[in-house]
Amino acid sequence: MAGKDFIYLATCAAISVYGFAFGITIGAAFGSLATILAVLPMVLLSFLLFGRLLVNTGSMTVWLGWVHRVSLIKYGYAVLSRIQYTGYVVDGVSVGDSYPHSTQVGSLLVWTSISFVFVPASVLWCVSYVALWSLTESSQHKHSRRQLKESLLGSFYHRLNVAISLSNADQYLPMISR
C-alpha cells in the first residue's frame, strides 16, 4: 500500500511541476496578459480533449491522432488510473487490470509515464528561465517601471490612472486607512 501512495505522490508532483513549467513558459513567451490568457486555455484544452481522456480514438478525426502522444496530461492520468485499479476485484473477477487498456490510456509502465512528464517539465522549466531572463534583461533598458506596467496590464490600467489622478486620490486616502 505504501508503494501506491509513493507513486501517487510522485505522479501528482510530476503533474504540478509540468503545469507550473508550462504556465511560466507560455507566460514568458508572450508579451501581454491578454494573449497569455487566450493561448493557455486553448493549448491545455486541446491536450485534455484529444489526449484520449474525453475523446477516444475512434471518434476523432485522423489528422488529430498525434495529439495524444504529446499530451502529458494523458501520461499522468494513465499512471493514476493504473495504480488506482491494479488489483481491483469485483465479485471475484479482476477488473482492475483490464480497465486502463479498455479506456485506451496506454500500456506504458508507471515509471516510464512519470518520466514522460518529468523530463519535458524540466526542459520547459529551463526554457522558461531563459525566456524570463531575456525578457527582464531587454525590458530593463527600454522602459520605465510605469511604462512596463502599462504595456503588460493593457489599456484598463491606463484608463484607471486617467480616471483617478493623484490630486483626487488624496481625498480617498483617509477612507482607505480607516
| Per-residue confidence band for 72, with pLDDT thresholds at 50, 70 and 90 | confident
Cβ burial of 90 (10 Å; 0-12, 13-18, 19+) is exposed
What pLDDT sits at residue 66?
77
Q: What is the CA radius of gyration of the chain?
A: 23
- In angstroms, the Cα distances linking 74 to 41, 110, 165 are 16, 12, 51
Quick: pLDDT tens for 21-55.
888 888 888 878 889 889 988 888 888 887 777 77
**Whole-number Å distance between alpha carbons of 22 and 18:** 6
Task: Give which of 62, 107, 58 is closest to 81, Cα–Cα.
Answer: 107
What was the pLDDT predicted at 177?
47
Nearest CA-CA partner of 82 in 64, 104, 63, 99: 99
How would residue 142 be classed by pLDDT, with cut points 50, 70 and 90?
A: low
- The pTM assigned to this predicted structure is 0.63
Query: In this model, does residue 172 exceed pLDDT 60?
Result: no
Mean pLDDT, the chain, rounded, equals: 74
Q: What is the pLDDT of residues 73-129, one digit of tens each?
A: 777 877 887 777 777 777 777 776 665 555 555 566 777 778 888 888 889 889 988
